[in-house]
Amino acid sequence: VIGQSEDCKLATIGSGLAGDAAFLNKLLRKDVMHTWERYDAIPDCTRVAHTASRVMLAFMGYGDEILDGSRDVLLEDNGDRISIGRPLGVNMIIAKLYSSGDVEMRLVEPSGVVSDELVGRVLGRGSKKGTELLKQRWRESCDAAEIEDISVA
The predicted structure's pLDDT at residue 90: 92
pLDDT exceeds cutoff 70 at 21: yes
Mean pLDDT taken over the chain: 81
pLDDT exceeds cutoff 80 at 82: no
pLDDT exceeds cutoff 90 at 114: yes
Mean local confidence (pLDDT), 108-116: 90
- Among residues 139, 136, 101, the alpha carbon closest in space to that of 119 is found at 139
Mean local confidence (pLDDT), 84-104: 85
Residue 66: which pLDDT band, with cuts at 50, 70 and 90?
low
Mean local confidence (pLDDT), 51-77: 73
The predicted structure's pLDDT at residue 130: 76
The predicted structure's pLDDT at residue 71: 59
pLDDT exceeds cutoff 80 at 126: no
Exposure pattern of 83-102 as b/e (b: 16+ CB <10 Å)?
eeeebbebbbbbbbbeeeee
